A and B are shown apart, each in its own frame.
Chain A
Amino acid sequence: MDILPLEEETRASSVTSISSDSIPSSSPPPPPGEDDRPPNKKRRLSPPPTRAPAAAASSSSADPPFESAYIGSFLVGNAWSTVRGKGYVKSGDEIRVERDDMEEKSTFVKPSGSTKSTGKGKGTSANGKDKRKKQMSLTTMLKPQPAKAAKKKVNDVVRLTNKSGFEFGRLPQEVASWVSKLLEMGIIDFKGSTMIDCPTTLHSGADLIVSLSVYIRASAFKPRAASSEEPTKVIFNEGQETLDEQILRERKSSLLRLFDMVGLKPVRGSVSRPGKDLDSRLSDDDIRNLAQRPEKSKSTVKAEVGGDGEEVEAEAEGEGEELSENQLNLIYKKAQENDRKMEEMEPADTFSLTLRGYQKQALAWMHSLEMGTISARESKSMDPLWSEYAFPGEPKDGVIDLTADERPFYFSPFSGELSLEFPTTERKCRGGILALVGMGKTIMLSALIQTNREPDLTEPERRVQEDLPNKRRQLRLDAAFRTVSRQVAKAAAPPKSTLIVAPTSLISQWSDELGRSSKPGTLRVLVWHGQNRLDLEAALEGKDATDVVVTSYGVLASEHAKGEKSSSPLFEIEWLRVILDEAHHCKSRQSKSARAVCALRARRRWAVTGTPIVNKLEDLYSLLKFLGFTPWSTYSFFRSFITLPFLDCDPKAIEIVQVILESVLLRREKNFLDTDGKRIVELPEKEVDVELLEFSPLERKIYDSIYNDAKRNFEQLSAKGLVSRNYTHILAMLMRLRRAVLHPGLVLSTQRNETPAGDGSVDVNALIQQFSETNEMDNSSEFVESVLTNLGDSNSECPICFDVMDAPMIIPRCLHQCCKDCIVAFLANCAENGSEGRCPTCSQGPVSESELLEVVPSRADPESSQQSSAPQVTLRRNDFRSSTKLEALLQHLRRLRDQDPCFRAVVFSQFTSFLDLIEVVLQREQLMWFRFDGSMNVKKRSEAVTEFKAPSRKPKVLIVSLKAGGVGLNLTTANHVFMMDCWWNAAIENQAIDRVHRIGQEKTVYVKHFIVENTIEGRILQIQKRKTAIVKEAFRGKSGADSESVENLKIMFGDD
């Protein structure tokens, strides 16, 4: 519980020292009397209350400027008399309030031998109480106390005495219960309390009305010390309450009671904070918003639906304490408050690019965090766990001096601590979270790496360097299996390398960008991944040591798993800095990667992610844990101060998160404004166009039959109430439907084997040959020649539609031509009438669709075609069945090619099998294409991207699987985006579009979204709109078929 800055001299905690040499619960308590107390008890923070207050503020260096301060008074109407007779006390007399004796106190401080768990284990806490009660009765047996008192809670007794010290009464139990504790802990003192009313003749049990004036003692404000071992302990039994915590808890509840009794309210802080800037405060509406969270669902299912092993959605979800977009914005609001005013910083000389203003600010911020200087953002936040109180004026002779300065003091209602110092939010970790989307974070971090290169020496390290000879000998012994000299070097030299962990798809981008942003030879980057995992330790030492190592989460996790048997260099090396890219990859605290990244040893830690909080507050925990951001990096702490209050709709949770983020997070979005009120990033326009397509009759038929099947199936399940149980099955049906929209071939397995190899091209001359052989007509050769000369003549008319032929097709038998659509429709018509396909012009037959030859104008380089007399067309077999969506894509690509002969386009789809078809279509269209999907290894992926980006006069298309390439990639060379299908969540789609529409993009970005009308896609859009962007996963795992998912399914299968 180290919430407060710990000064070295106060570190020796009396409480812990007592507890460490404490008496086991079975042993008898120490005998009464101060003399017998062990000497270390003299270091108690709270001096014995029986002593004069002056003795209290003795041992501390930072004494408060007073011994005790008035904080209020309260009336107790049912104190009772313990004596009989007259003359002990009368109304108006000054009275004293005294604790029984020292006995109870030591009982109290003594460990009860049990620990209490905060939230879960009520049982253990009850046990703890029982044990303590037993001890107390043991104590009381040794004491010369009236038996009557023993029946009651003896340790609560608070006596009222008159001036001469004679006890005449006691405080009632409900008051005594907490007053006794405060007295014991030396927090309060009663001075100038008076008897308001009492009978002149006292009798046992007579009611006394007393007014108690409470003074808070200076010693109460001394910072409590926490034992240094505590954090480690907590790791082993998370959620357990330590003895220390238990005392604090009692102290805190007693103090709260006191404040309540004397009517002391916080001026600002955890309960209310009127002093804050208006715009940073949560309005009531906000709080209400925050309170309205979606119901939680607890399910973690990685559903693999689709049957053919294709990558599918249904992401793993933990406890679904999801947050809406608005809630997230509220959370981030505070963290961004002072951002505009931040200072800028120039990068090191080796940095070869120019940083933008906001990037320089970010650099300054990161630099200051790494250097441990006070946050660049002027932090004026009070620690969210604290409240500010003002000392009330002390009535002097019944008059309150209103002119006196109000002095504030601070109290943490969570820990029970008191302080006179302003509690600022404290941070010890060096590093933070960068929440940047498309803002050039790679560049910023590169600047940071180059600017903050020098290792920082810690004290022990200097010592290590001095002690080197000794050290070497020692190391030799325990490092028998490792190269000794290296170990020594490692131990000797402070770390100066940076480790970057990124998703596999981004590794090469990192190494490219780092190279690009540094002057040649100044930054040595090593990609440590796949086969070429060299000896890391060797690479990191010597003069040419690698500055930056880039690796993937996968490698990290597997090395970590290996590490259980043999240690991996990744975890042995102490890094100067570790950077996690797309850090939300390890948002789940139990995941392998999360555990692996936390096991890394590093001086400085950075987490980079566009979404620090994906959909629930706990997402943040893993990041804080990685950063070592105490105390929040302790799970139990995080859970009890953030998660649980949030679940109870306590807006405090959000405020705490806000304050944490303020000190640790830098968030930027493209539309933020800079100091001059301009957007920090000027991006060109983005035009998104949803194009509604219509199925061809055949596709419609296929789709409808699949849809009706699925619908019937769903309705049957729904009628039987089995929807939730057959969730996976239903999801599979949905998948089928979504594929059917793209291409019928994706669901009809019989058509799949039609997918031809190669590009289906046919040699024109071979065709002529074939024609001449089969036709004996004399003039055949002339005819052939005329056909061929006119091939590719774009003006010839289709005999069926009378229009200029669109995608002319040649019937190989007679060389007659038609539009593709016309001839295909005609052949289908023939088949329907039961007749053989034939040429519409000459009726020669039979003709089948797949033998038709498509005439494709060659788009070879103009120079080469001039040299040769080869026909400027290519013929290709019509053995590929297209689909509405593919045709729409092709149509746009053709148009693009006409307008801009060197266009660059990116095509996204979720289905790799559809990517296969797109590939074929592009190949047939003779467009240069590259592919990027999850099945490719890093090398191939990076090749694809590099080649796509390489300058060329030809058009290029990159086809990307939404899952693999939706994040991180930088594809600003392209400015046309085609979304072939739609995802449950629009945010994912937008993120994909942001690959292109991001910093560095200079042209307007055109986004085409193809939607086939009257299909499931329209309904997906409906769901997207229905829960504007909250629906991270509209369909969670199978057991998580909560009402909402079922609702969504109803949309899917409902009637329009």
Chain B
Amino acid sequence: MSLPKRIIKETERLVADPAPGITAAPHEDNLRYFDVTIQGPDGSPFANGVFHLELFLPEEYPMSPPKVRFLTKIYHPNIDKLGRICLDILKDKWSPALQIRTVLLSIQALLSAPNPDDPLATDVAKHYKENEKDAQRVSREWTEKYAMA
């Protein structure tokens, strides 16, 4: 199965012109499978952390969205303990005009702006709603514990 031109182009561009704070490299044996790192945005409880994610481009891509998951544990209301991400563009708001880069940038933005109103990890969301400061502290702790080498 040959790789669509679009995926090749995206990969080339990700390598040649990476987004700040983001890296993405395809596996050698499966060019649809990417190892991704995202730096925690400054000013967020995730700052200075480097989060590992995996990203897979399904057969239908770009008609259907890529599948993305956090591998690094993270305390975030929209990311569950399995690393699954609640983000509209990864679901019904997906558009083929989006791409790997924009998806990863959106995830980075999600770290800056958690959205406890549309939670995936309900306990984390509850924590964020009831005591945001304390929740951010836990997030920082987790970042130090899991996302810093």
Q: How far is the CB of B111 from chain A (nearest CB, A)?
A: 23
- Across the interface, A801 reaches (CB within 8 A) one of B6, B60, B64, B93, namely B6
Q: Are A835 and B92 in contact (CB under 8 A)?
A: yes
Chain A nearest CB, measured from B36 CB (Å): 19
Interface: B95 (CB within 8 A): yes
In angstroms, Cα B92 to Cα A803, docked, is 25
Q: Is B4 within 8 A of A841, CB to CB?
A: no
B64 to chain A, nearest CB (A): 8
Residue of A nearest to B4 (CB): A801
A residues in contact with B9, CB < 8 Å: 802-803
Give Cα distance in the complex from A826 to B65, angstroms.
12
**A248, CB-defined interface residue at 8 Å:** no
* A 817-845 contacts with B by CB, 8 A: 822, 825-826, 829, 835, 838-841, 843
A800 within 8 A of partner (CB): yes
* Shortest distance from the beta carbon of B76 to any chain A beta carbon, whole Å: 25
Contact yes or no, A799 B92, CB < 8 A: no
**Size bracket, chain A contacts:** 10 to 19
Q: Is the CB of B97 within 8 A of A799?
A: yes
B62: CB under 8 A from chain A?
yes
Is A801 within 8 A of B97, CB to CB? no
Q: Please give, as numbers and ranges, the residues of chain A lying within 8 Å of B10 by CB-CB distance.
A: 802
Residue of B nearest to A825 (CB): B63
1/0 contact string of B56-68 vs chain A (CB within 8 Å): 0000101110000
Complex: A800 Cα to B99 Cα, angstroms: 9
Q: Which residue of A802, A838, A840 contacts B6 across the interface (Cβ within 8 Å)?
A: A802
Chain B positions within 8 Å of A841 at CB level: 95, 97
Decide: B96 and A826 in contact? CB cutoff 8 A. yes
| Interface of B: prevailing SS | loop
Contacts of A838 in B (CB 8 A): 95
Docked complex Cα distance between A822 and B92 (Å): 19
For the residues of A in contact with B, the DSSP-based class is loop
A-B contact count (CB 8 A): 36
Partner of A800, one of B60, B62, B64, B92: B62
Q: A803: which of B5, B95, B96 is its contact (CB, 8 Å)? A: B5
B131 to chain A, nearest CB (A): 36
A840 touches B96 (CB 8 A): yes
Smallest distance from the beta carbon of A354 to chain B beta carbons, Å? 56
Q: Within 8 Å CB of B93, what residues of A?
A: 843
Residues of A within 8 A of B99 (CB): 802
Q: How far is the CA of A843 from the CA of B10 in the complex (A)?
A: 21
The CA-CA distance from A841 to B93 in the complex, in Å, is 11
Select which of B4, B5, B63, B96 is within 8 A of A799 by beta carbon. Answer: B96
B46-73 interface (Cβ within 8 A of A): 60, 62-64
Interface positions of A from 566 to 621, Cβ below 8 Å from B: none
A826 to B94, CA, bound (A): 11
Within 8 Å CB of B97, what residues of A?
799-800, 839-841
Structural contact, B63 and A803, CB atoms closer than 8 A: no
Contact residues in B for A829 (Cβ distance below 8 Å): 60, 63-64
* Distance in angstroms between the alpha carbons of A502 and B123 in the assembled complex: 92
Q: How far is the CB of B66 from chain A (nearest CB, A)?
A: 14
Q: How far is the CB of A502 from chain B (nearest CB, A)?
A: 55
Closest CB in chain A relative to B15 CB, distance in Å: 15
User: Which residues of chain A (836-884) have a CB below 8 Å from chain B?
Assistant: 838-841, 843
Identify A843's interface contact among B62, B63, B64, B95, CB under 8 A.
B95
| A825-B63, A829-B63 known; A800 vs B5 contact (CB < 8 Å) | no
Residues 769-802 of A at the B interface (beta carbon under 8 Å):
799-802
Whether A840 lies near B5 (C-beta < 8 A) is no
Name the residue on A nearest B89 (C-beta): A843
Binary contact readout B64-104 vs A (1 if CB under 8 angstroms, 0 otherwise): 10000000000000000000000000001101110100000
Q: Please report the C-alpha to C-alpha distance between residue A838 and residue B93 in the assembled complex, in whole angstroms.
A: 11
Determine whether the beta carbon of A826 is less than 8 Å from that of B63.
Answer: yes
Pairwise interchain contact B96-A822, C-beta atoms closer than 8 A: yes
Most chain A CB within 10 A, of B6, B62, B96, B99, is at B96
**Nearest CB in chain A: distance from B136 CB, A:** 32
B20 to chain A, nearest CB (A): 22
Q: Which residues on the A side are within 8 Å of B5 (C-beta)?
A: 801-803
Bound CA span A829–B58, Å: 15
Complex Cα distance, B97 from A839, in Å, reads 9
CA of A802 to CA of B92, assembled, Å:
22
- Report the minimal beta-carbon distance from A711 to chain B, rounded to whole angstroms: 30
Task: Report the bound CA distance from A571 to B91 in whole Å.
Answer: 83
**A802 surroundings in chain B (CB, below 8 A):** 5-6, 9-10, 99
In the assembled complex, the CB of B96 is this many whole angstroms from the nearest CB of chain A, namely 4
Determine how close the nearest CB of chain A comes to the CB of B32; give it in whole angstroms.
15
Q: What is the 8 Å Cβ interface bit string for chain B, positions 93-132, against chain A (1 contact, 0 not)? A: 1011101000000000000000000000000000000000
**Which residues from chain B contact A799 at a C-beta distance below 8 Å?**
96-97
Which residues in A have their C-beta under 8 angstroms from that of B63? 825-826, 829
Q: How far is the CA of A825 from the CA of B6 in the complex (A)?
A: 15
How far is B6's CA from A839's CA once the two chains are assembled, in angstroms? 19
- In A115-130, which residues have CB < 8 Å from any B CB? none
Which residues of A from 794 to 817 have beta carbons under 8 Å from B? 799-803
Give the complex CA separation of A825 and B95 in angstroms: 12
Task: Give the chain A neighbours of B96 by CB distance below 8 A.
Answer: 799-800, 822, 826, 840
Residue of A802, A803, A825 with highest tally of chain B CB at under 10 A: A802
Assembled-state Cα–Cα distance A829/B4 (Å): 18
Task: For residue B99, give the distance in angstroms from its CB to the closest CB of chain A.
Answer: 8
Contact, CB under 8 Å: B4 / A840: no
Question: How distant is the Cα of A822 from the Cα of B96 in the complex, in angstroms?
Answer: 9
Q: How far is the CB of B106 from chain A (nearest CB, A)?
A: 14
**Closest CB in chain A relative to B59 CB, distance in Å:** 13
Q: Which residues of B contact A840 (CB under 8 A)?
A: 95-97
Complex Cα–Cα for A324 and B15 (A): 67
CA distance A852 to B57 in the complex (A): 28
* B95, closest chain A residue (CB): A840
Residues in A whose Cβ lies below 8 Å from that of B4: 801
A822 to B63, CA, bound (A): 9
Q: Which residue of chain B has its CB nearest to the CB of A800?
A: B96
Residue on B with the closest CB to A835? B92
Q: In the assembly, what is the distance between CA of A672 and CA of B9, in Å?
A: 57
The B-contacting residues of A in range 372-392, CB under 8 angstroms, are: none
Which residues of A sit under 8 angstroms from B60, Cβ to Cβ? 829
Q: For the complex formed, measure the closest distance between the CB of B98 and the CB atoms of chain A, giving whole angstroms.
A: 8
**A residues within 8 A CB of B95?**
838-841, 843
Question: Which B residues lie at the A interface, using CB under 8 A?
Answer: 4-6, 9-10, 60, 62-64, 92-93, 95-97, 99
A sample of 20 more A-B contacts (CB under 8 A), given A802-B9, A825-B63, is A799-B96, A799-B97, A800-B6, A801-B5, A801-B6, A802-B5, A802-B10, A803-B5, A822-B96, A826-B63, A826-B96, A829-B60, A835-B92, A838-B95, A839-B95, A840-B95, A840-B96, A841-B95, A843-B93, A843-B95
22 example contacts (A-B, Cβ-Cβ < 8 A) are as follows A799-B96, A799-B97, A800-B6, A800-B96, A801-B5, A802-B10, A802-B99, A803-B6, A803-B9, A822-B96, A825-B63, A826-B63, A826-B96, A829-B60, A829-B64, A835-B92, A840-B95, A840-B96, A840-B97, A841-B95, A841-B97, A843-B93
Across the A-B interface, the 6 shortest Cβ-Cβ residue pairs? A799-B97, A840-B97, A800-B96, A841-B97, A802-B6, A802-B9
